[in-house]
């Protein structure tokens, strides 16, 4: 431990065996950004997750070099350097297709949301102090030595998410930290929420309204798929923050049941599905939430399943399930069944619902045998009439259990046309 912060019986481990630290790409970027009095250390998620034995998805670096120097040193080593956020000290260095965000040590002189007036520094403790939580202010150098200027290691191990400095002030600098507080608790928290941080989040919650939709949605997605997602959502609800975030009255029970069902199936969580369970009741909720959070069309299509027009919380019989599978396709069928199951009274390990979920593995939806030209060949029809006729015949085919042949369906089409011209 290079910079002791508190006395403890057991020394924190070295990170030297971490796979990401051993990788040639990481060694290369460390080598490029070391020397001439320049020090570079990994910070944030990579350090935090390594200490907990969890996966590391990206490596962020902090350096004493000024951004321009980072650019020069990286290019001298033959690496690509992109000035992604150079005004705030961030340069992206690319090694063999892998990106590293390298940020110069800084202190925030004045912060307003994302935008801060900053000053570069060579003081690691100052850099640590501008970060949000103690467990996010852990650094590791190229040798794997851990640096812990603010006592974050103890907090990480005991699962305490603590604001650095005075919580109210830190939240007022950037209200996203309220949601980050719940998110980090959902991933790393152990014995409940730190009361000082929680009280500050509650006091400052009105500031959430100032955040951009994208930033809120980004945090919400991550909270919803966290290991302790439900505890975090429940806490947001209990302390009166959730309805402001969602602009809707939530349905906690359906979310909790969906999580239990997914866990029972060892199914990877889908943030849009969980949001649907939590906050979509009627069809109109889906486009409203999608617009509010600027969600993708694919996410909106999943949200729409929350209204559960298909099953209404009832276990489908085989025919109903087939019709649903035909209409939704296998992926959305599974999501719709999961939501209906979560909205029902059935147990999270109910065997009938499990069986219903496996339909796509047992039955492949047939393709409707008629196409536009089949009915245009039957007579003089205009565009919209062709569509309407096809839909009517298709519906009859679905209602009949997809059994009727092409010939039978053509007869049906003819009969429809005869009826239409007679009336
Ligand atoms: P992950 O990448 O797994 O979400 P991370 O901790 O690496 O976790 P990043 O968003 O990559 O998160 O940010 C890197 C570090 O920057 C954080 O660990 C934290 O120290 C700091 N940081 C990020 N966002 C904020 C913020 N809004 N306020 C204060 N510090 C922040
Ligand atoms: Mg990160």
Contacts of 142 (CB under 8 A, 6+ apart): 21, 27, 30, 31, 34, 40
Mean pLDDT of 287-303: 95
What SS3 state is found at 274? Answer: helix
Is 6 a residue whose pLDDT tops 80? no
Cα–Cα distance for residue pair 403/37, rounded to 1 Å: 78
Radius of gyration over alpha carbons of the chain, in Å?
A: 28
98-104/60-63 β-pairing = parallel
Ligand 1 site-directed mutation target among 104, 136, 148, 216, most atoms within 8 Å of CB: 136
Strand partners, 110: 117
Both tokens of residue 74? 């990286």
Interval 113-146: pLDDT, tens = 677 788 999 999 999 999 999 999 999 999 999 9
Does residue 60's CB lie within 6 angstroms of at least one atom of ligand 1? yes
80-85/60-63 β-pairing = unpaired
Strand partners, 41: 62
Strand partners, 60: 43, 101
Give the torsion sign (CA, 343, 349, 350, 353). positive
In this prediction, residue 177 carries a pLDDT of 98
In this prediction, residue 129 carries a pLDDT of 97
Interval 161-189: pLDDT, tens = 999 999 999 999 999 999 999 999 999 99
Is 213 a residue whose pLDDT tops 60? yes
Residue owning the nearest CA to atom 8 of ligand 1: 45
Which atom of ligand 1 approaches the CA of 222 most closely? 4
Is 381 a residue whose pLDDT tops 60? yes
In this prediction, residue 141 carries a pLDDT of 97
Both tokens of residue 289? 């939430």
Give the torsion sign (CA, 367, 369, 370, 371). positive
How many Cβ atoms are within 10 Å of 401's Cβ, its own excluded? 11
Q: How sure is the predictor about 10, in pLDDT bands with cuts at 50, 70 and 90?
A: low
Percent of the chain with pLDDT over 90: 84
Contacts of 340 (CB under 8 A, 6+ apart): 308, 310, 311, 312, 313, 314, 315, 316
Does residue 170's CB lie within 6 angstroms of at least one atom of ligand 1? no
Mean pLDDT of 143-152: 96
Distances 128 to 57, 115, 140, 160, 399 between C-alpha atoms, Å: 21, 18, 13, 17, 65
DSSP symbols for 31-49? HHT-BTTB-EEEETHHHHH
In this prediction, residue 7 carries a pLDDT of 46
Å from CA of 166 to ligand 1 middle: 18
How many Cβ atoms are within 10 Å of 76's Cβ, its own excluded? 10
Give 66's DSSP letter. -
Does residue 162's CB lie within 6 angstroms of at least one atom of ligand 1? no
Q: Is there a contact between 50 and 15 (Cβ–Cβ < 8 Å)?
A: yes
Task: Give the mean pLDDT of the chain.
Answer: 93
pTM of the model: 0.90
Q: Is there a contact between 392 and 416 (Cβ–Cβ < 8 Å)?
A: yes
Q: How sure is the predictor about 83, in pLDDT bands with cuts at 50, 70 and 90?
A: very high
Cα–Cα distance for residue pair 414/418, rounded to 1 Å: 6
Q: Is there a contact between 401 and 360 (Cβ–Cβ < 8 Å)?
A: no
Among 103-107, 148-152, 368-372, 378-382, name the one with the lowest average pLDDT. Answer: 378-382
Å from CA of 138 to ligand 1 middle: 11
Does residue 152's CB lie within 6 angstroms of at least one atom of ligand 1? no
Å from CA of 41 to ligand 2 middle: 13
Q: Is there a contact between 23 and 56 (Cβ–Cβ < 8 Å)?
A: no
Ligand 1 site-directed mutation target among 44, 59, 180, most atoms within 8 Å of CB: 44
Interval 19-31: pLDDT, tens = 999 999 999 999 9
Burial class (CB in 10 A: 0-12, 13-18, 19+), 218: middle
106-112/90-95 β-pairing = unpaired
Give the torsion sign (CA, 387, 388, 394, 398). positive
In this prediction, residue 309 carries a pLDDT of 79
Does residue 132's CB lie within 6 angstroms of at least one atom of ligand 1? yes
Å from CA of 73 to ligand 2 middle: 22
Among 113-117, 125-129, 229-233, 279-283, name the one with the lowest average pLDDT. Answer: 113-117
């Amino acid at each position: 431990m290079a910079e002791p912060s508190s006395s403890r019986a057991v020394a924190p481990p070295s990170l030297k065996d971490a796979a990401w630290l051993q990788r040639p790409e990481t060694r290369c970027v460390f080598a490029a950004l070391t020397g001439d009095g320049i020090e570079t250390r990994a910070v944030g998620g990579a350090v935090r997750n390594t200490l907990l034995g969890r996966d590391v998805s990206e490596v962020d670096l902090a350096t004493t070099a000024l951004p321009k120097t980072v650019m020069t040193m990286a290019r001298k080593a033959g690496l690509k350097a992109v000035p992604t956020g150079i005004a705030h000290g961030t340069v992206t260095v690319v090694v063999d297709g892998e990106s590293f965000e390298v940020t110069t040590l800084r202190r925030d002189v004045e912060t307003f949301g994302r935008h801060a007036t900053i000053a570069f520094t060579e003081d690691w403790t100052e850099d640590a102090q501008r970060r949000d939580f103690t467990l996010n202010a852990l650094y590791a150098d190229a040798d794997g030595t851990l640096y812990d200027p603010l006592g974050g290691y103890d907090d990480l191990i005991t699962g305490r998410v603590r604001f650095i400095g005075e919580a109210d002030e830190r939240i007022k600098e950037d209200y996203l930290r309220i949601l980050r507080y719940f998110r980090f608790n959902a991933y790393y928290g152990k014995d409940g929420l730190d009361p000082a941080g929680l009280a500050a989040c509650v006091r400052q919650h009105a500031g959430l309204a100032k955040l951009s939709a994208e930033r809120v949605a980004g945090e919400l997605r991550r909270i919803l798929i966290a290991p302790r997602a439900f505890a975090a959502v429940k806490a947001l609800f209990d302390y009166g923050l959730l309805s402001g975030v969602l602009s809707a009255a939530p349905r906690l029970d359906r979310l909790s049941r969906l999580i239990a069902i997914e866990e029972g199936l060892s199914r990877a969580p889908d943030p849009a599905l969980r949001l649907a369970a939590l906050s979509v009741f009627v069809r109109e909720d889906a486009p409203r939430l999608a617009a509010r959070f600027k969600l993708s069309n694919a996410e909106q299509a999943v949200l729409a399943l929350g209204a559960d027009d298909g099953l209404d919380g009832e276990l489908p019989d085989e025919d109903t399930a087939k019709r649903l599978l035909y209409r939704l396709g296998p992926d959305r069928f599974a999501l719709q069944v999961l939501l209906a199951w979560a909205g029902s009274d059935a147990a999270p390990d109910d065997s009938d619902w499990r069986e219903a979920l496996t339909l796509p593995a047992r039955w492949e939806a047939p393709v409707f045998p008629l196409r536009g030209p089949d009915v245009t060949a039957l007579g003089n029809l205009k565009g919209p009439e062709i569509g309407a006729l096809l839909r009517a015949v298709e519906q009859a085919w679905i209602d009949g259990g997809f059994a009727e042949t092409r010939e039978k369906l053509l007869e049906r089409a003819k009969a429809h046309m005869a009826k239409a011209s007679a009336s």
